[in-house]
Amino acid sequence: MVWTKQRIIAELKALHKKKRDLSYNSLAKRNQALVSAAAYHFKSYRLAIEKAGIDYADVVRRPRWTKPRVIALIKAAKRKGQDLNWASVTKRRDDLGRAAFAAIQGRLFGSWDRALHGAGLDSDDVSRYRRWSKSSITFELRARNSEGDSLNSGAVQRDDAGLHAAALRYFGSYDAALRAAKISPTKVRKRSTRKE
């Protein structure tokens, strides 16, 4: 069979009308001659598809990810109460899981946290684990202090184990974290013994 531009276009249109999979790999498995002829006559398979009046984005099997599409999927998942932390999302085998990997590409968001932010969500609210830094630890300790919450080691371990563990990890000791927050460990201990 001799392939001409007109014949290639007619064949592609006929296959598209029959709702056949026109993705490059799928068609190459069924009709390598057509794919090769299309690429040869039109310089690329994509140009042949476009010359046939078919939207190439509809042909490729992987979805064309855009910021609005990723954001829409995140918002839909949030409305359904689905877990949006990175570890959970990347285990999924659906559009949301694929969107997460697309979102971290530089042309989209560059990170999952930025994608969540783009959807109007705070990444710390959906994260399974809080991200700690010395400043966030001292901020939390000062906030507890100003609200009159108990700051003794046992109370913080009971109320916010993550904060206590982070204080030890970042400062070496709980007392050192208190001192960094401008809170006297001695006063904290005196206050806790007075309450007992």
77 and 118 part of one domain: yes
The parent domain of residue 144 ranges over: 134-195
Are 39 and 86 within one domain? no
**In 10 A of CB 120, how many CB atoms?**
10
Residues 170 and 161: beta-carbon distance below 8 Å: no
pLDDT digits (tens, 9 = 90+) for 111-139: 888 898 899 887 767 766 567 889 989 99
pLDDT at 170 exceeding the cut of 90: yes
Q: What is the pLDDT of residue 193?
A: 57
Alpha carbon distance 105, 137 (integer Å) = 31
Confidence check: pLDDT of 25 > 90: no
Query: Is residue 122 domain-shared with residue 138, that is, in the same domain?
Result: no
Give the separation between CA 155 and CA 177, rounded to whole angstroms.
Answer: 15
What is the domain count for the chain? 3
Pair 11, 52 in one domain: yes
Which has the higher per-residue pLDDT, 7 or 57?
A: 7
What is the DSSP secondary-structure string of 88-157?
Answer: HHTT--SHHHHHHHHHTSTTTTSSHHHHHHHTT--HHHH-SS----HHHHHHHHHHHHHTT---SHHHHH
Q: Do residue 55 and residue 75 come from a single domain?
A: no
Residue after which a domain boundary falls, among 126, 156, 173: 126
If asked whether residues 189 and 172 sit together in one domain, one would say yes
Rounded to whole angstroms, the Cα distance separating 77 from 155 reads 36
Q: Please determine, for residue 196, whether its predicted confidence score (pLDDT) is greater than 70.
A: no
| Residue 44 and residue 79 share a domain | no
Region 155-178: what's the mean pLDDT? 88
How confident is the model over 64-107, as pLDDT tens digits? Answer: 788 999 999 999 988 888 888 887 888 888 889 888 988 888 88
- Are both 78 and 37 inside the same structural domain? no
